[in-house]
């Protein structure tokens, strides 16, 4: 018979708040336990599976996009934590393909079917002014496109396909794959 580990219950909300309840830390309400610090790093849904695996004491599967954020729960900072996050929408491959990369300062959205988007999140947190065609942000845009393609290559993204929308990006996949 295997040794059972205690349960861990995590509460999440859309109010930039997550609480972790562990039997070693009894509480009366879900909000009774507070983390020792706020974490300003990006944590995405892709990070939950590796986190739950680590907390359960099982090996984290190879090939997952995310990383365990369990060190943050222990008050530690994981080494080389990503400074950007990525998202995608595959649409129907030919139409509505989107890829997004965001840092703490900028967000770039590649719209294979429409105008691309670039936002200065420090000065425009509500993303009201699209800077994608502003020449003053050309290098910022190029850096984000490079990150987008590099991430797509690392994830074996289906965007590397023969459909025309792939050719509409301002710089091609080679931009992100060269070092």
What is the arrangement of strands in the sheet containing 85-89, beginning at the earlier edge strand? 85-89, 98-102, 106-111, 117-120
Would you place residue 129 in the very low, low, confident or very high pLDDT band (cuts 50, 70, 90)? very high
Q: Are 42 and 69 contained in the same domain?
A: yes
Q: Are 53 and 90 contained in the same domain?
A: no
Residue 2 maps to a domain: no
Q: Are 63 and 116 contained in the same domain?
A: no
Please write the tens of the pLDDT for every residue from 18-37.
444 444 444 333 343 344 45
Q: Are 21 and 94 contained in the same domain?
A: no
Question: For the chain, what is the domain count?
Answer: 2
Residue 79 maps to a domain: no
Would you place residue 88 in the very low, low, confident or very high pLDDT band (cuts 50, 70, 90)? confident
Please write the tens of the pLDDT for every residue from 131-167.
999 999 999 999 999 999 888 888 877 776 666 555 5
Q: Are 95 and 126 contained in the same domain?
A: yes
d(CA 101, CA 159): 15
Strand, coil or helix: 176 = helix
**pLDDT of amino acid 30:** 38
**pLDDT of amino acid 11:** 53
Contact 77/71 with Cβ under 8 angstroms?
yes
Which residue segment(s) compose the domain that 121 sits in? Answer: 85-177
**pLDDT of amino acid 71:** 87
Residue 135 maps to a domain: yes
């Amino acid at each position: 018979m295997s040794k059972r580990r205690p349960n861990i219950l995590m509460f999440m909300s859309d109010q930039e708040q997550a609480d972790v309840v562990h039997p070693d830390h009894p509480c009366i309400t879900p909000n009774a336990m507070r983390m020792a610090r706020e974490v300003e790093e990006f944590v995405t849904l892709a990070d939950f599976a590796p986190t739950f695996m680590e907390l359960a004491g099982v090996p984290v599967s190879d090939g997952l996009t995310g990383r365990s954020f369990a060190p943050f729960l222990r008050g530690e900072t994981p080494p080389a934590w990503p400074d950007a996050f990525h998202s995608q929408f595959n649409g129907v491959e030919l139409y509505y393909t989107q890829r997004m990369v965001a840092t703490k300062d900028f967000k770039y959205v590649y719209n294979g079917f429409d105008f691309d988007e670039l936002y200065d999140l420090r000065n425009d947190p509500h993303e009201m002014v699209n800077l994608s065609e502003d020449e003053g942000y050309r290098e910022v845009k190029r850096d984000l496109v490079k990150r987008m393609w590099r991430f797509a290559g690392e994830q074996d993204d289906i965007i590397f396909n023969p459909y025309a929308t792939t050719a509409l990006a301002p710089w091609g996949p080679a931009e992100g794959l060269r070092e």
